[in-house]
Structure 1
Amino acid sequence: MKKSAFYRILLCLIFSSFCFNSTLAQNATFTELEGKVIDSDTKTPLVFTDIVINDSNISTVTNSDGDFLLKIPNTFLEGSITISHLGYKKREVKLSSIKNHEKILLSPAITKLNEVSITTTTKGAKEIVEETLKKKSSIYNNNNTLMTAFYRETIKKRRRNASLSEAVVKIHKQPYNNLRNDHIELIKARKNTDYSKLDTLALKLQGGPFSNLYTDIIKYPEFIFTAEDIPLYTFSFGNSTKINNRQIYVINFKQKEDNGKPLYYGKLYIDAGTLALTNAVYSLNVSNKELSSQMYVRKKPRKVDVYPTEATYRVNYRTTNGKWHYAYSNISLTFKVNWKGKLFNNTYTLNSEMAITDWEIHDAKLAKIRSKLIRPSTILSEKASGFSDPRFWGAYNIIEPEKSIESAIKKIQKQLKRT
């Protein structure tokens, strides 16, 4: 897939109609644990915190409010969970000692001053990044892996939710040391769109879960750091931090001022010992409206001008038995929509996130039922079967919805009861 194809799958503006159905799920032998992870000093919520059931590959992440919901198979109830967050001390807690809706405290990791100033390496920031991108064959998972993931996609007009799609998918993750693309199998999905809030203009994310999967910089470096693009960036060291008591290089990057095409700027968090990429947070330079619009907008009415005002990305990795793999990503895109001849503009925010909630080594190279595979050009809301009650997901782990999404779900459920 060419680099431009990744950008152009992110947004599609078209006119469309709407309908939905309901589906119910079966019960399973699991226990739900709800809680909140907060900073022990400031008591502020910790966003995107990893929560993993020990001796398993089952996991979840906290939402933007620091809340989480973890569905634990009853066979693991006597075990414990590990809670980790960048810049904080890892904590292991026995499940039997946690009360439901409990606030779990994490303490900031102390970073000594002499470690902050990067005195432990003679390599430059750019050289470290280049070595990190070459590490995929040695420190990343090189087995065929079947990953279970939860995906959520929301569209807001100003601050009001206008569209919500969610799905459980199976990712047929190819080894990091080969060039084969990953495949995604749709397991369960639900959606609801209120087109009255979209002024008959329907924003749709073309690519769905693939858009988040392509933020895996190690597997797909061509979408941000090609060999041709790296010389166009300036790399520098920021203050280092810690994760799981390991020193992490923080490398800032931005495009050089003499280059006019839209490139990225942000931070790479790289393990100082292994040079593994642990996290990345970055944004697209959207100062050139025309060029940045061409990267995202695939289809739109003639009388509408659309351009991004913000495009931010996050990707997190997790390590198991010394091997790293993709764990979570978040994309947030904000667009201005101008109708020619109209006085007022509209602002739309499209957010998508995907979290790996379980995985296993898988001998088969591809899904046996090819009809369940979705394409990178798929619009998820057109594949979804409808919206239903919370039991819809059964034993699948999901990302706990933030307050505004939770409110939208409750409204949808009330509408379903009336109809």
Structure 2
Amino acid sequence: MASQHFNNVLSKGKIIMSGMVLLWACVLLTPSKAVAFQDDPSVDFNQYQGEVVDESTNRPLVFATLSVEGTNISTITNTEGNFLLKVPKDITNANVIVSFLGYKSKTLPLSTLDPEKNKISLLISITELSEININAPKDATALVKETLARKNENYFDDPTLMTAFYRETIRKRRKNVSLSEAVVSVYKSPYNSIRKDAVELYKARKSTDYSKLDTVALKLQGGPYNALYVDIMKYPEFLFDDGSISNYKFSFDRSTRINDRLIYVIKFDQRETILDPLYHGELFIDVENKTLTSATYSLNITDRDLASQLFVRRKPVGVDVWPTEVSYRVDYREKNGKWYYGYSSVILEFKVDWEDRLFNSVYSMTAEMAVTDWEPNITGKLPKNRERIRKSIILSDEAIGFSDPDFWGEYNIIEPERSIESAIKKIQRQLRRIERRGK
């Protein structure tokens, strides 16, 4: 069973390394329009920017959620705690709920937010020890099994059409060298259904500075599906299911709070007797409802060559490539007593060893996706096969250009990091110079 479970890793992201290509002057790609979006010029929105921080330390809170109460509109903060929230102008009296794992949620009237430089501070939520011991489960493994078994009643049981923002970033050490972004429609099947989710591309763009890539271009195969398959409750086979859960040992670690609800943190790791590299990490489970609210986990990389076979599909001759980190994160959100997939990320770090060079290179690839709006998929229909994104997609090959300043319109995105933003501006200047020379 361990080997069969281990093979599921093959469906996660793979990288492709190819020879250097020329940096071309790019134009905007306009993919076929998805059902979830309508280009209506009459639609207008208000935009709010700012940061979410720890009230006592002023430390930025990464991946904090901002949701507009009474709607399905939401966004998250980036790795610097910054956010960008777009709200239709006809929504004026709503509240914005700001939440973060282990902190007290804060509700703010939309009317109190400024267009820019909002600073929202959250207080740590303290869990009393006496509270933890009340009706506490005694068996961590049993709690995990019950949580997985109750997905039919705790998670969306109707087809849902989600609007999501997806981003892939490639860094060489600390320098951003490539960025691909997309707005996609996710046709989310009910959690009690074996039907797989489908993804349709709406808009996409990219920017790559090939001069920093050591004469190789790294590409991530799978695109949005890499992030989508981190949804453990929909795809337990990629982490553990009935057949493989016995390969892990589970233990209680600590307790915390999400939206004033008591959350147990369950640590897990593979058993010493299992030789195939599996995972270790943490599960955040709502004690009262037995609901998985968040999870973070990483692959145990014990065999460098075996890990390379799993994640590297193609590479140039004379180059040795192996992963040094493979990490995942998934967060769920709740509305009207039902939970749904809200955000996920994948981090892949690789070492590239050149046969004829003294020093090796370190690259990291991050793929993340955030659901920014959703609506019931009343018909339950999925897009036609020719309209769906292929599971083998390489997004950077499908998207070209950063030429449209109003590219994203009213759609919520993950605010770019300052380093990414500056890299984009630099590459934009390069493209403009190339375009001018070509005239």
TM-score (normalised: structure 1): 0.95
1:73-98 CA distance string (max 9 Å, x none):
00112221111111111111001112
Q: Distance in 1 between matches of 2:393 and 2:150?
A: 31
Residues 1:352 and 2:352 are matched in the alignment: no
Q: Distance in 2 between matches of 1:176 and 1:206?
A: 25
Q: Secondary structure at the match of 2:14?
A: coil
AA at the equivalent of 2:8: K
* CA RMSD, 1 decimal: 1.9
Assess if the C-alpha contact under 8 Å between 1:183 and 1:366 holds in 2.
no
Q: Distance in 1 between matches of 2:141 and 2:220?
A: 33
Residue 27 (structure 2) aligned to one of 21, 27, 32: 21
Residue 400 (structure 1) aligned to one of 415, 419, 422: 415
CA distance 1:386–1:370, change in 2 (3 Å): farther
Shift of 1:389: 4.1
CA distance 1:264–1:368, change in 2 (3 Å): closer
- Alignment-derived partner of residue 187 in structure 1: 202
Assess if the C-alpha contact under 8 Å between 2:179 and 2:207 holds in 1.
yes
Say how many residue pairs are matched: 417
1:30-61 CA distance string (max 9 Å, x none):
01100111111111111111101111101000
- Alignment-derived partner of residue 128 in structure 2: 112
- Alignment-derived partner of residue 11 in structure 2: 6
Assess if the C-alpha contact under 8 Å between 1:53 and 1:82 holds in 2.
yes
Q: Distance in 2 between matches of 1:145 and 1:80?
A: 24
Q: Distance in 2 between matches of 1:415 and 1:78?
A: 44
Q: Secondary structure at the match of 1:391?
A: coil
Q: Distance in 2 between matches of 1:121 and 1:81?
A: 33
Assess if the C-alpha contact under 8 Å between 1:10 and 1:211 holds in 2.
no
Q: Which runs of 5+ in 2 are unaligned?
A: 31-38
Shift of 1:202: 1.2
Shift of 1:369: 5.2
- Alignment-derived partner of residue 252 in structure 2: 237
Residues 1:340 and 2:392 are matched in the alignment: no
Counterpart mapping for 1:32-43 below 5 A? 32-43=47-58
Q: Which runs of 5+ in 1 are unaligned?
A: none
Q: Secondary structure at the match of 1:70?
A: strand
Residue 307 (structure 1) aligned to one of 306, 310, 322: 322
Shift of 1:366: 3.6
Q: Secondary structure at the match of 1:260?
A: coil
Shift of 1:304: 1.6
CA distance 1:4–1:237, change in 2 (3 Å): closer
Assess if the C-alpha contact under 8 Å between 2:207 and 2:424 holds in 1.
no
Counterpart mapping for 1:223-372 below 5 A? 223-368=238-383, 370-372=385-387
- Alignment-derived partner of residue 126 in structure 1: 141
- Alignment-derived partner of residue 74 in structure 2: 59
Identity of aligned residues (%): 50
Residue 410 (structure 1) aligned to one of 397, 416, 425: 425
AA at the equivalent of 1:275: K
Assess if the C-alpha contact under 8 Å between 1:62 and 1:400 holds in 2.
yes
CA distance 1:301–1:49, change in 2 (3 Å): same
Farther-moved stretch of structure 1 (28-37 vs 225-234): 225-234
CA distance 1:203–1:366, change in 2 (3 Å): farther
Assess if the C-alpha contact under 8 Å between 1:115 and 1:240 holds in 2.
no
Shift of 1:196: 1.7
CA distance 1:341–1:119, change in 2 (3 Å): farther
Shift of 1:367: 4.1
Residue 177 (structure 1) aligned to one of 192, 197, 213: 192
Assess if the C-alpha contact under 8 Å between 2:104 and 2:122 holds in 1.
yes
Q: Distance in 2 between matches of 1:103 and 1:305?
A: 46
Farther-moved stretch of structure 1 (44-53 vs 286-295): 286-295
Q: Secondary structure at the match of 1:239?
A: strand
Q: Distance in 1 between matches of 2:389 and 2:272?
A: 40
AA at the equivalent of 1:94: P
CA distance 1:122–1:277, change in 2 (3 Å): closer
CA distance 1:368–1:233, change in 2 (3 Å): closer
AA at the equivalent of 1:365: G
Shift of 1:13: 1.9
Q: Distance in 1 between matches of 2:334 and 2:290?
A: 13
Farther-moved stretch of structure 1 (357-366 vs 54-63): 357-366
Q: Distance in 2 between matches of 1:316 and 1:240?
A: 17
